[in-house]
Amino acid sequence: MKNFAIKTFSSANNLRSGRIPKNQNFIGEVNIVAVASVLLLAIGLLMMTSASIEIASSDYGNPFYFLTRQLVFVGVGIVVAGVAIFTPMSFWKRASPSLLILSYILLVLVFIPGLGHEVRGSARWISLGFFNLQPSELAKLFMVFYVAAYLELNIEEIKDNWAKFLWPLGAAGFAAALLQQEPDHGAMVILLATVFCLVFLAGAKLVRVISLIALFGVIGIAVASTKPHVLLRLVSFTDPFDQQYVYTSGYQLAQSLIAFGRGELFGIGLGNSIQKLYFLPDAHTDFVLAIIAEELGMVGVLFVLALLSTLVLNAFFIGKKAQIQNRLFDAFVSYGIGLLFTGQALINIGVNVGLLPTKGLTFPFLSYGGASLIVCCLMSSILMRIQFETETSSVRKDTQ
């Protein structure tokens, strides 16, 4: 264990500094991403099953109904990840404009009657019969590909040229407008925040970025003020136990907080959650973290967060190494994937603990849902591919 910790710490330092010893096998670096992803996936299967077993038994007559479906998604995710690992990053760069257009098309298709699938007033899915595709999951990743390719070509111009600076933000703004119509505010915020961060990392002036963020913020507030249910969520999350909210708009958050409180430090034991017994709606999707807190305690939650942090930090380390080698597309894709994981996790955590208004957004790898899980597998495999190409390039230079 000590040797493993030393090796992992050394690997992280090498990635940060861009120094890879000639005798070091880059496969060991890839394993950090792979191991973190696999552990998150395994914990997700376990806790999603625990959170859904009662409702699955009652509604479908099969306590492992959701587990069976999730295992199918895992299989698809592994196949997709396997294909992506063997796909050169040059393919994603060439295909980025086409993928962006495809994401726009998919985001529009959700509004077509008979094709779009609506749940609780939100049209976020395309019904494929056996599977409901959520275009926003693909749109976020495809936007990262497009912006990364754009920034590589215009890395100098975006610093002083307003038109070059605004172009990727305009592309993101159009996608955000479509997401707003669904509505899917969580995906919209993550997409916009990721693009803003990427443009800033590319060297755009801070005052411009802050100005645009303020503008989007004002627009967001103006739109929210026209939607009574959004305003109600904003008000109720500040005190979900208030008598006028605890059984209405604040109910879900109140039950989530009860789950966190019951779990205390070490939890009440795997499978022993009471909140999953119809008290906490969507316990196996958006609020699986609350069930982890109840059954495994704060220790379990912190372990999950440590795994996700490991994944995110390695995404940035890999991106930094690629940037040192002037592989700017690879670098910005790595940064973008790290930001997507971070944004999705932060919003989900914020919702679960009452720091943010209730919003339907899954936790990476943990929550039930096909599109989210498959895209998470895809993003992890792309990180591995970037690591492979970067290390291969580094070794090639060292041998020359």
Residue 129 falls inside a structural domain = yes
Burial of 291-330, coded b for 16+ CB within 10 Å and e otherwise, reads bbbbbbbeebbeebeebbebbbbbbbbbbbbbbebebbbb
Q: What is the pLDDT of residues 250-296, one digit of tens each?
A: 888 999 999 999 999 999 999 999 999 889 988 999 999 999 999 99
Instruction: Tell whether the model's pLDDT for residue 160 goes beyond 70.
Output: yes
Residue 3 falls inside a structural domain = no
- Residue 120 pLDDT class (50, 70, 90 cuts): low
Residue 184 falls inside a structural domain = yes
Q: Are 51 and 288 in contact (CB under 8 A)?
A: yes
Longest dimension (CA), the chain: 72
User: Mean pLDDT in the chain?
Assistant: 86
- Residue 218 pLDDT class (50, 70, 90 cuts): confident
Residue 384 falls inside a structural domain = yes
Residue 343 falls inside a structural domain = yes
Query: Tell me, what's the pLDDT at 180?
Result: 87
Residue 122's beta-bridge partner residues? 119
Averaged pLDDT for residues 359-380:
92
pLDDT more than 70, % of the chain = 88
- Domain assignment of residue 370, given as a range: 26-399
Residue 7 falls inside a structural domain = no
Residue 21 falls inside a structural domain = no
- Residue 140 pLDDT class (50, 70, 90 cuts): very high
Query: Tell me, what's the pLDDT at 136?
Result: 92
Number of domains in the chain: 1
Residue 40 falls inside a structural domain = yes
Instruction: Tell whether the model's pLDDT for residue 13 goes beyond 60.
Output: no
Q: Are 240 and 353 in contact (CB under 8 A)?
A: no
Q: What is the pLDDT of residues 18-36, one digit of tens each?
A: 444 443 444 444 479 999 9
